[in-house]
Every structure is written in C-alpha cells, then in structure tokens.
Structure 1
C-alpha cells in the first residue's frame, strides 16, 4: 500500500528536528518514535522470543542428521582366589594357597544412528517450526506497533498537559487581575464585599486546578520518559495529520490483508494443521540405520580385540492404551480452536478499524465545534468584561465568562490532541504503524539475519563464527 503521505510527514518532522538541534533541544514526533523503538525492553524481549523460535527450526532439522556418540573406559579387575591341594602320598596332608588376580583393560567405542524413514513425521515437524517462526515474526510486528503507538500517545499527552498548564497559568493571572480590580472597586464603593469574596474563591479554585494540571504534566512526562527513554524537550508537533484512507471500507480491506495479528493467526492455524500430521505419523513405524565400532585392549599384554556392527531396524507402536489416537483427536480440536480464534481476531480487527475511524470523526467534529465555541466565548468574555467596567455587569458575570472561555479552549486543545492520536490509531488498526512504513531514521531489526544463521543448525564452522558475530552485534555475548 502506498503510504507516501505519512512518510513525507515523518521526514518533515525529522528535518525540523535537525534545524532546531543547534539552538534548542526539541523533540519531534518522529524523535519520540525512534527513541521508543531503540530503547523498548518489550521489543527486545519479543526479539529474544523470535530467536528462540528460530532455534526450533535448527533443532527440527537436526533430527534428520546422524547422531554420533562415543564411549571410553579403563577397567581394572582384581580379586583373590584360594585353592586347597591334598598330597597323594600316604599320610600326606593338605596344602592351601592364596593367589591374587589382577587384570587391566581399556576399550573405546563409536556409535552412529541415522533416521531413514518415519513417514514424514520429522519433515512435517520442520515445516511446523518454520510456520511458528513466521507467526512469531508477525507477533514482533504487533509489539512494534504497540510500542510506536504508545510513543505517539505519550508525545501528544505531554503536549495536551503542557498546553493545559499554560491555559491554567494564564487563567490564574487573569483572575488575579480581576481580584485586584474588584478590591479597587470595593475601596471606592462600586462593588460589595461579596464581589471580592467571589473573586477570591475563584482564585483559590484556579490555583487548585493549576496544581492538578501541573501534576498531570509531570505524570505525562514520566510516561514519555518510560516509553522514549529520555525526558521530553520542547515538543514540536508535525505540521499536518498523517494520511489515512478516505473511508473505513478501504482501511478495513488493508487491515484484513496486512494486519500482523491476522497474519500471525493464519500461521498458527497452519501450525495446528501440521500438528495433526505429526500426531498421525507417530502411529506409524520408523526405520533407523545404526552402526558401531569398538576396540578393546588388555593393558597387561599385547592382546586386543576389535568389533563392529551395522544394522537396519524398524520399530513401531502396537498398543499404547489409546494415547496415540487421543493425541490425534486433541490436535484436531486444537486446529478447530485456532480456526475459531482466526475468526475472532478478524472480527476484532474490523471493529478496531471502525472504532478508530469513529474516534477520528468525533475529534474532527469536536474541533469544528470547539473553534466556534472559543470564538463565541472570546467575544462574550471581552464584551462582559467591558460592560463590567461600565457597571452593567457584576464580577461574577466576568468570572463566569472567563471560565467559559477557559473550558472552551481546554476542550479545543483536547480535541486537537485526540484527532492526532485517533489518526495514528487508524494507521495502527490497519497494521501499518511500523518503522518500515513510517520510514523512520533508525537501524531496523531484521529477523531474517539470525534465522539465516541458525536454520541449518550450525555447530562450529564458518557459519558458526558468523553466528557469533551476529550475537555480539545483538549484545548477547
């Protein structure tokens, strides 16, 4: 799917970050997502899960290779024998003698076993392991989307909280001015003590609301630090919204085709189907080729012996109490479970896309209404304040009008933030909120690198040395 609009947006924010880097520490939305991608412990955890799944492929392949084993031992046999001898001469007695016996032998042996045929059970296991790897890769993409969406949300929540604090501070300043004006007018007898008390009460409320807003800002900054890995600087918002499909139907089609959770579940269904074949093959015989050679030497002499054998054997189950049949039925039930889960995931993705679009449209409508509300509240506040100077309005009228203006501006800020978060939720619901689709300036994790190193089950070879270099690059050695 073409996603150039969002890529241009991210590129623009990155360029703005570079221009501001020399003067002011500023963070763009792209900076926040890059930081989250590079420092996420959740991503690192799931990358390790994927590497473990890669090793399952290597272990499955190893079942088709010969198994070599060796044995060696040195044996010392010792004992004592006693014999009695009777003299043949008349009147002769008996004679007893004790003879120690000691012998030393050494032996060494080498055995090999190779699977010849098992009705495809092992090769099906290899295919099963490969499908599990593909499912794990899509699971990693899902986690990547979660991390990036959390970074987007953290960025905009800091913006929301910061702008709210600015509004509250400005509101506090205005109420302080109203209080001073009320006190001055009280001194000359234009208003009563009640007007002064109302202004004082509203001032106390404004200070309380400012404290709450500052607390929310601190919490938002801590969330940003937890997600991005550093404290937020001056946040520079992107100049425009990311590009999203024009309607929910188009977005849903993309989601059903590309969303990593759906693709991962499709691979899990395939895994469950292959498990049935493995369970059925377990009921059939296996053919193995075995061979062994040995050497034994008498350490007390020059005597020795050599022996060897080679055999082709077959074995298979006859009766195991119904266990094998039960395993086949269990695998079929697990396949049905995964198919039902695929249907459930598909419905959830559809619903997620629709909900994301609803949130986006709601935010857009709120912005339009908010603009009108702020404009009207601003005119009303200025008019009531002017009328109050002429004595046609009370202090309470001014304070109420100022509160209405503050509420309108706060709602507008929230609607603007909600619009951006909803737009990125739409992108995430389609399965496109990834560093590749966003074209973020970050070194991307390539899951195929490790897989290609281990898929053939290397031991210690040139390929094994390359694997060691990959592990060092990942910081695992």
Structure 2
C-alpha cells in the first residue's frame, strides 16, 4: 500500500518537474478568460441587457404597419322574374398605417437614459465577475503548485526518515543506541507516511478544482511571474479603488438608472402628442369594378386628467427606489474601503511571514547540521535529530504556504482596487469589448511580465 502512495508521489513530482508540457500562469488565465462558463453566461447576460437600449429608443421612431385582406362571396338566386341568378364578389382591401410620437413629456427620454445606465451597470457587473473568476483561476494555479511542492517535501521527508531508521537499526545492532531510539524513528516514519498520503490527497483535490475553473487538468505548471507594482500606502490603494472598483461604479450607475426612472414616471403627467397617417384602397372586384382610395393625416393630443392616483404612486415609488440606490452607493463605498484596507494589510503581513519563514529555514538548516554532528559523537540522541528534522520540515512547509498566501494576497488587493482585469494582466483574446473604460488613476502599473 505504501509503495503505491510513494509511486503516486513520484508521478506527481514528475508532472511538476517535467518541462515538456509546461503551462504558464498567463496561459492558465487566458484559457479561463476565453472558456469559463461563468464568464460566458455573464457576457450573454450583458448582451441581453444591451438590447433594452434599442427597445427604449424605438419609441421615438415611426411605427408603420400594413394590412391586406381578400374575401370571396358567391350569391345564388333562383326563381323570380329574371329566373336563376348567380353573383360573385371578391373584394380586396389594402391599408397602411403610420404613427410618430411628437411629445411624451420626458417619458421616452427617461426610459432611454435608464436603459443606458442599466447597461453600464451590467458591464461593471461583468468586470466584477471577470475579476472573481480570474482570481479563482490564479488561486487554483497557485494551490496546485503549493500542494505539489508540499507533496514533494513530504516525500523527501519519508525518504530521509527511511534512511534515519536504517541507520538507527544499524546502530542498535552494534549497541550504540537503545530500542527506544529505533521505535522513535519508526513512529516518525509512520507519521510521515500518513502526512504524505494526506498531501497527495490535497494535491488531487487542488487539481480537480483547477479543472473546474480552468476547464482542463493541469500538466506542468511553471513558476508564476512577479506581481505588478503595488501601492506604497493604503491611501494610494483607496484612491485607485474609488476610480476603478466595479462594485462602486455599478452602484453609481444603478443610482443613475433610478434617477432616470423618476423622469420617466413624471412624464406620465404630461400630454402625449402624436401624428398618425393612413392610406387604404378597396377593390370591390364585382361587375362594376369599383375602387375606393382613402388618405388621412391626424394629429392627436392625449391629456391625463385622472388616473386614480396611479401616476403619483409611480413617481413616489421611483423616488424611493432612487433613495435606496443612493444609500447603496454609500454602502458600496464603505465596503470597498473595508476590502481594500483588509487586503492591503494582509499583503503587508504576508510579506513579513515570508521573511520570517526564510530566516527560520536557514536557522533550522544550520541547527539540524549541528545536531547531526553532535549525535555522531554521542552528544545528542536520536530523538534530538528527529526533532531537528521535524522543525526544518515545518519551516519549509510554512515558507511554501507563505509564498502562496502572499501572492494570493497581492491578487486580492488588485481585485479590491478593480485592477485584476484582462488589461492589467495583459491577457490576449478578449472575446467581446464590453468593458467601459474606467477613470484613469495617477498610478503607474508595471507590466505583468
């Protein structure tokens, strides 16, 4: 059983180390950007919402319709002074109607402005979804690399403990150590084997998560590139977020939509003025062959006098919705400030963890070497060596996890500022030009590569 686990670990390590099928961080994000079903569904939703602008603008354009009809009537009459008689009539009617809105009191204009604001809000929602999915793909990439490195460290630890156990048994045979020392080495080896099995299981789960987000299982993953330049202070990060954050921008566009809806609702109080024209022709198609043509042009005015409070209620409702949208902008701003502040401080803390972990690894390497030398001359026990190896192992695992966490923290800060986009990451193959251009902040982004 353990041989199977070791073989699996060797295969996993071979996949990580083999450069023949190397897949880069950028390729992972590009594949996700083009094929992720969540993004594709969101883009389709934006396309659907964009059609509302065309529908709203159509109210200002003329409406033209045509009608045509033909019927056949056969009349048979028998007896009487003229004897039997049969009459057939096949009348034909043709009609064209046209209507043009002249004045709607701001109702149509308000509906157009509302539709345009809804489209802009939907595009910002797409930017939010894009950043979320890209962060998921990047995290999945980093998780596979981290868990692969952890599995490799665990496998190396098993090999070291196997050699340690062999050495302990040899020393026991010659009487240098006791049976207790051998048992301690056996216990550490058994624990290391269990930890290796857990690490391989976690690696398999991370690979499955990668497949769910990216659309294919990872092959060889190359090291991730350096992060773009980050803000030097939380104030700089907040300034960028207030310009770029799609959450805040979507809330602002929703407020614009609600305000436009008020104008549209108030337009129902105004008179409606329209111009109507029609032309018709009727052919009797009987014995006389009569043909009648009619033309008419009508200007109509409709003034609402009493609607049972309907129009007033709609205006109040639109006003309340606008108040709600305005308050949500304030809430969105607070949310963005909280997320950016948290992400910035998490990034700073993660960098400190990496620095401490690197020093810990270096110190534990020196300590292990010293303990091994002291144990060789009988100044240290087998347990001391095992403890030193365990401390070095934990330091290396902490460093691997800290490097992954720091990178994810940097990406999370970019997302919080609204910069984790295809443009910032220099992802090629933009499927649709949906994203509205955000206000440019005074911040120089270092190219991703």
Shorter-chain TM-score tier: 0.7 to 0.9
Offset, 1:353: 0.8
Question: Which residue in 2 is equivalent to 1:40?
Answer: 36
Contact 2:343 2:412 in 1 (8 A): yes
Counterpart of 2:329 (choices 327, 333, 342) is: 342
Structure-to-structure mapping, 1:68-217, within 5 angstroms: 68-77=64-73, 103-217=89-203
Question: Which residue in 1 is equivalent to 2:300?
Answer: 313
Counterpart of 2:282 (choices 266, 272, 296) is: 296
- Bigger mean CA offset, 114-123 vs 319-328: 319-328
2:407 corresponds to 1:411: no
Contact 2:241 2:417 in 1 (8 A): yes
Counterpart of 1:429 (choices 405, 412, 416) is: 416
Contact 2:238 2:340 in 1 (8 A): yes
Q: Equivalents in 2 of 1:442, 1:75: separation in Å? A: 59
Q: How many residues align?
A: 417
2:204 corresponds to 1:218: yes
Contact 1:435 1:444 in 2 (8 A): no
User: Secondary structure at the residue paired with 2:231?
Assistant: coil
Offset, 1:164: 0.4
Q: Equivalents in 2 of 1:77, 1:320: separation in Å? A: 46
Question: Which residue in 2 is equivalent to 1:50?
Answer: 46
User: Secondary structure at the residue paired with 1:391?
Assistant: coil
Q: Equivalents in 2 of 1:215, 1:43: separation in Å? A: 29
Contact 1:165 1:214 in 2 (8 A): yes
CA shift digits 1:66-115 (9 cap, x unpaired): 111111112234567799x9xxxxxxxxx9x9977653322111111111
Question: Which residue in 2 is equivalent to 1:247?
Answer: 233
Question: Which residue in 1 is equivalent to 2:269?
Answer: 283
Q: Equivalents in 1 of 2:102, 2:429: separation in Å? A: 48
Q: Equivalents in 1 of 2:325, 2:78: separation in Å? A: 76
- Taking structure 2 as the reference length, the TM-score comes to 0.86
CA shift digits 1:130-166 (9 cap, x unpaired): 2222222222222221122222212211111111011
Contact 2:140 2:209 in 1 (8 A): yes
Cα distance change of structure 1 residues 201 and 193 upon mapping to structure 2, 3 Å threshold: same
Q: Equivalents in 1 of 2:72, 2:31: separation in Å? A: 67
Q: Equivalents in 1 of 2:383, 2:19: separation in Å? A: 45
- Bigger mean CA offset, 108-117 vs 177-186: 177-186
Cα distance change of structure 1 residues 79 and 444 upon mapping to structure 2, 3 Å threshold: closer
- Bigger mean CA offset, 254-263 vs 379-388: 379-388
Q: Equivalents in 2 of 1:448, 1:64: separation in Å? A: 28
User: Secondary structure at the residue paired with 1:58?
Assistant: helix
Q: Equivalents in 1 of 2:189, 2:367: separation in Å? A: 21
Question: Which residue in 2 is equivalent to 1:14?
Answer: none
2:240 corresponds to 1:258: no
Q: Equivalents in 1 of 2:19, 2:387: separation in Å? A: 42
Question: Which residue in 2 is equivalent to 1:446?
Answer: 433
Offset, 1:239: 5.5
Q: Equivalents in 1 of 2:222, 2:248: separation in Å? A: 35
2:63 corresponds to 1:67: yes
Contact 1:242 1:424 in 2 (8 A): no
Q: Equivalents in 1 of 2:280, 2:432: separation in Å? A: 50
For structure 1, the residue ranges without an aligned partner over 5 or more in a row are 1-21, 86-94, 450-477
- Bigger mean CA offset, 159-168 vs 386-395: 386-395
- Bigger mean CA offset, 188-197 vs 358-367: 188-197
Offset, 1:444: 5.8
Structure-to-structure mapping, 1:376-415, within 5 angstroms: 376-415=363-402
Q: Equivalents in 1 of 2:228, 2:102: separation in Å? A: 58
Cα distance change of structure 1 residues 444 and 246 upon mapping to structure 2, 3 Å threshold: farther
CA shift digits 1:433-460 (9 cap, x unpaired): 11212333444631389xxxxxxxxxxx
Contact 2:61 2:100 in 1 (8 A): yes
CA shift digits 1:247-299 (9 cap, x unpaired): 11011011012212211211110110000010111222211111111111122
Offset, 1:407: 0.8
CA RMSD of aligned residues (A): 2.4
- Taking structure 1 as the reference length, the TM-score comes to 0.82
User: Secondary structure at the residue paired with 1:245?
Assistant: coil
Q: Equivalents in 2 of 1:124, 1:340: separation in Å? A: 21
User: Secondary structure at the residue paired with 2:176?
Assistant: coil
- Bigger mean CA offset, 277-286 vs 221-230: 221-230
User: Secondary structure at the residue paired with 1:249?
Assistant: helix
